Amino acid sequence: IIEGVGLHGLRPPGEALDLGNSGTSMRLLAGLYAQGRTCVREPAPTRDHTERMLLGLGYPVVREGNRICLEGGGTLKGTFIEVPGDFSSAAFFMVGASIAPGSDLLIEHVGINPTRTGALEILRAMGADITLHNRRQVGGEPVADIHVKSAPLKGIAIPEALVPLAIDEFPALFVAAACAEGETLLRGAAELRVKESDRIQVMAEGLQALGIEARPLEDGLVVKGGPLQGGRVHSHGDHRIAMAFAMAALRASEAVEIEDCANVNTSFPGFVECARQAGLSIEVRHG
Q: Are 30 and 36 in contact (CB under 8 A)?
A: no
| Chain centroid offset of residue 211 CA | 25
Sign of the alpha-carbon torsion through 261, 186, 90, 98: negative
**13-20 contact pairs (CB < 8 A, 24+):** 13/37, 13/39, 13/67, 13/69, 16/40, 16/41, 16/67, 17/41, 18/42, 18/43, 19/46, 20/46
CA 152 – CA 141 distance, rounded (Å): 31
Q: Are 174 and 223 in contact (CB under 8 A)?
A: yes
In a 13 Å sphere around the CA of 21, the CA atoms on its Cβ side amount to: 12
Q: 168 catalytic, yes or no?
A: yes
- Among residues 48, 145, 168, 198, the one annotated as catalytic is 168
Strands (E), the chain: 7-8, 17-18, 34-35, 37-41, 62-64, 67-71, 104-111, 129-138, 141-149, 183-186, 213-217, 220-224, 231-234, 256-259
Give the catalytic positions in this structure.
Answer: 168
